Amino acid sequence: MTANGWCQIFLFLALVLLVTKPMGIFITRVFNREKTFLDPVLGPIERLLYRVTGVDADHEMGWKEYAVSMLLFSLVSMIALYLMERLQGFLPFNPQKLGAVNPSALAFNTAASFTTNTNWQNYGGETRMSYFTQMAGLAYHNFMSAAVGIVLAIAFIRGVARRQVQTIGNFWVDLVRCNLWILLPMCIVGALVLVSQGVIQNLKPYDTVKLIEPMQVPKVGPDGKPVVDAQGKQVMDTVTTQTIAQGPVASQEIIKELGTNGGGFFNANSAHPFENPTPLSNLIELVAIFTIGGGLTYTLGRMTGSQRHGWAVWAAMATLFLVGVTVAYWAEARGNPLLAGTDQRATALQPGGNMEGKEVRFGIANTALWATVTTDASCGAINGWHDSFTPLGGMVPLVNIMLGEIMFGGVGAGMYGMLIFIVLAVFIAGLMVGRTPEYLGKKIEAYDVKMAMLFALIFPLLILGFTAISSVKTFGTSSILNSGPHGLSEIIYSFTSQAGNNGSAFAGLATNTTWYNTAGGITMLAGRFLMIIPTLAIAGNLAGKKYVPPSLGTFPVTTPLFTVLLIGVILIVGALTFFPAMSLGPILEHLLMLAGKSF
Amino acid sequence: MKKNLITSVLMTLATTILLGVIYPLVVTGLAQLLFHHKANGQLISKSGRVVGSRIIGQGFSGPDYFHSRPSAAGNGYDAANSAGSNLGPTNQKLIARVHQDVTTLRADNRKPVPIDLVTTSASGFDPHITPAAAEFQTSRIAKERGIGVDQLRALVAQHTEGRQFGFLGEPRVNVLELNLALDVQFQTKPSR
């Protein structure tokens, strides 16, 4: 670890702190339908959209209608994406003449993935998706799934803030305003800033360039296997050109981070120089991932009239973030003891450490930071391959997702996930002092805690259930790339990432199979929608309750003590659930690696 | 329910046009206007031919060129097929591959090999190597090209990019640009 590395990490956190308040105020104004400086431009577009789609902007919805509207919209837009993938051969903006996304299980998995804000990818973008599918299908869902997450968090906060009413807002109005006011303007500006750093934005066919030095590469037959001659020696081919994939990348890159989606335009995601060319583009993309999640903590404080509560939640998130990044940075900087004859020390001339699957311009600090941030939030974009991290370095992203991605979190999803933990924390505090727990003047009763526990139980059930099946059946184990405990980590990571709607992967696992496409698709849909319903149920139930003024026996949710209790609840729930599985995966691999064992 | 279903269909259509078509096309137009070179991938031409992109690495393995990092993209440096190796830290394939590369490289220079020179990058076409990896190779290239090591170090220094604004990211050497400059400045290769 170097002083410069830590400077970069703290600069990042300082920038997140800096954007929290302005972002939070702006989000509050947008959803309260107050005046903003963008109204003259966006007002007419908003009204036009309501007219075309038949939305009554003054209609207020109860939690059930809100949930049904959200589910219907997600279903319809998911089907639209599926059809677009299958029909892309007939659609415009396809200079590489890419055919339909096959097999249908892959198209289903991808449609489920992008609708649920997961962006798990069983394909490489540049070899499978036309520019049209990327823009109008995948990037479109980056906007929509992010907006759906944000409006659900807002609906929950309204549930806490409102008193004795049965409604929590209008889904369509929230959705439209979120896209027009919050996401779109930041994306237009952000995309152009990224282009200024070298992120590409064009619609031309792939370029073919003549190499300076011809390369000798293994010849590959039509079956995709290397060709060998009669003596069993590898036949080599001389390659004199390089084909460079192009596309409308910047417009997708920015919403991918801002909406914590994470689905790369290219297979290598934000490690690809065309997605993330410079350290500055890297920093902008990192801050974008936490911007809305951070802002929502301020919105929580503002809408519920307890700004200090918002900051107490922010502090819990930042603390857990710092713990994660410290472990990841430390583990990656220590390097891999099994690689003899290499120089892995940090010097003025190199960052050293474990450089397998990392880019030189980012080095160790920025890759460890990215891995932590992308899984603290439910982003899942990567700038280095998690599968090639050291065992403990790779455990950090895994644990982050298992804790529910509530450190700033997926846009919206992180906030409502955190609110569930808050409900559990005040419940536990209530048990300790023997009083009915309250949260910001609302009594937390049996119904609310049951719903919160439902939310907390669906998640491990999906992960551990599907991992168990995959690790004993050949259709699961045959996809493993790395043997030994690392193979189990690959499977656990896969289902954890999909249940948590993260989308990053231990990508050695070959998941473009019927089993993983189907099981993964189901996991993503369940991990999103089954968890949203109990969330909205709590929101609706809280909105109907009357306000109880705080008394001497009320556990305050604005103090450092609350922050500590909240962190404790998060860690205990996560650790109790997943520790046995972790000890068989990354922890075991770490011990074996130190003992010099390989697989 | 029925009304919300109809709204769902219409909302999907209307917002797809706005966010899925108009937005990326507007950004494309602005990007092409404001940052034409960068929006198109910073292609480099040499005597009228496009020979690469400044920020997409190429594979170099000849003794008289600076080598780039190992690649797992397609068959190697396939810029239409980005990928990493995804080999885990305890995988014998990784250990064997690194061991083989280390052995080859140490035939020219006995020092421990800078780690980036024997590990695959994340994209599969990392345009950079560390200054340490460039320094490691200077004695070989100087010998192959029949030039002084100090001359070569000066050229490497010219093509070394420091941290952005002095503190962001890591120092790095652009391999394609360095090798192009190498050919321009020290064209006379020893007869072979």
Q: Which two tokens stand for residue A227?
A: 């060709």
Residue B188 pLDDT: 53
Q: Is B163 on the interface with A (CB under 8 A)?
A: yes
For B170, the closest of A73, A360, A385 (CB atoms) is: A360
Distance between CA atoms of residues B97 and B102, nearest Å:
9
What is the chain A residue with the closest CA to B42? A198
Distance between CA atoms of residues A329 and A371, nearest Å:
10
DSSP A416-473: HHHHHHHHHHHHHHHHHHTS--EETTEE--HHHHHHHHHHHHHHHHHHHHHHHHHHHS
- Quick check: B84 and A357 in contact, CB under 8 A? yes
Question: What are the domain boundaries of chain A?
Answer: 18-204+247-277, 207-244
Distance between CA atoms of residues A302 and A407, nearest Å:
19
**Mutation site for A-interface testing, chosen from B40, B116, B176, B189 by largest number of A Cβ within 10 Å:** B116
Q: Is A211 on the interface with B (CB under 8 A)?
A: yes
Section B111-135 average pLDDT: 97
Dihedral over Cα of A56, A62, A65, A70: its sign: positive
Per-residue pLDDT tens over the stretch A178-220: 999 999 999 999 999 999 999 999 999 999 999 999 988 888 7
- HSE-up (13 A, CA, CB side) for residue A519: 22
Q: Is A266 on the interface with B (CB under 8 A)?
A: yes
B192: pLDDT strictly greater than 70: no
Q: Is A512 on the interface with B (CB under 8 A)?
A: no
User: Residue A207: what are its φ and ψ, rounded to 5°?
Assistant: -85, 145
User: Residue A239: what are its φ and ψ, rounded to 5°?
Assistant: -105, 125
Q: Is B157 on the interface with A (CB under 8 A)?
A: no
Distance between CA atoms of residues A87 and A562, nearest Å:
53
* Nearest CA distance, A320 vs chain B (angstrom): 24
Q: Is B133 on the interface with A (CB under 8 A)?
A: yes
Residue A479 DSSP class: T
Residues B65, B108, B57: CA angle, nearest 5 degrees: 30
What is the chain A residue with the closest CA to B181? A212
Q: Is A389 on the interface with B (CB under 8 A)?
A: yes
Residue A576 pLDDT: 86
Please give the helix or strand (H or E) that residue A208 lies within, else none.
strand A207-218
Instruction: Give the three-class secondary structure for A377.
Output: coil
Model pTM score: 0.96
Per-residue pLDDT tens over the stretch A208-257: 999 999 988 888 777 777 788 888 888 888 999 999 999 999 999 999 99
Distance between CA atoms of residues A417 and A411, nearest Å:
11
What is the chain B residue with the closest CA to A173? B11
How many CB atoms are located within 10 Å of the residue A181 CB?
Answer: 20
Q: Is A390 on the interface with B (CB under 8 A)?
A: yes
Chain centre distance of CA A273:
21
Question: Are the Cβ atoms of B85 and A385 closer than 8 angstroms?
Answer: yes
Band of the pLDDT at B189, cuts 50, 70, 90?
Answer: low
- Quick check: A121 and A262 in contact, CB under 8 A? no
* Nearest CA distance, B48 vs chain A (angstrom): 11
Question: Are the Cβ atoms of B20 and A137 closer than 8 angstroms?
Answer: yes
Spell out a b/e string for A322-332, using b for 16 or more CB atoms within 10 Å of the CB, else e.
ebbbbbbbbbb
- Quick check: A429 and A565 in contact, CB under 8 A? yes
Residue with tokens 């698709």: A521
Residue with tokens 């000890």: A583
DSSP A93-153: S-TT-----SSHHHHHHHHHHHHTT----SS-HHHH--HHIIIIIIIHHHHHHHHHHHHHH
* Nearest CA distance, B149 vs chain A (angstrom): 17
Q: Is A205 on the interface with B (CB under 8 A)?
A: no
Strands B113-114 and A342-343 come out as parallel
Residue A99 pLDDT: 93
Nearest to B80 by CA among A453, A167, A350, A207: A207
**Mutation site for B-interface testing, chosen from A342, A490, A511, A589 by largest number of B Cβ within 10 Å:** A342
- Quick check: A151 and B30 in contact, CB under 8 A? no
Distance between CA atoms of residues A116 and A218, nearest Å:
40
Beta pairing partners, A438 = A443
For A338, the closest of B12, B90, B170 (CB atoms) is: B90
For B82, the closest of A266, A349, A358 (CB atoms) is: A266
Beta pairing partners, A217 = A237
For A195, the closest of B19, B38, B179 (CB atoms) is: B38
Q: Is B49 on the interface with A (CB under 8 A)?
A: yes
Please identify every stretch of chain A with a pLDDT value under 70, giving residue numbers as ranges. none
Instruction: Give the three-class secondary structure for A220.
Output: strand
Residue B191 pLDDT: 46
Residue B105, C-beta contacts closer than 8 angstroms, at least 6 positions apart = B113, B117, B118, B136
Question: Are the Cβ atoms of A356 and B94 closer than 8 angstroms?
Answer: yes
User: Residue B190: what are its φ and ψ, rounded to 5°?
Assistant: -60, 150
Residue A269 pLDDT: 96
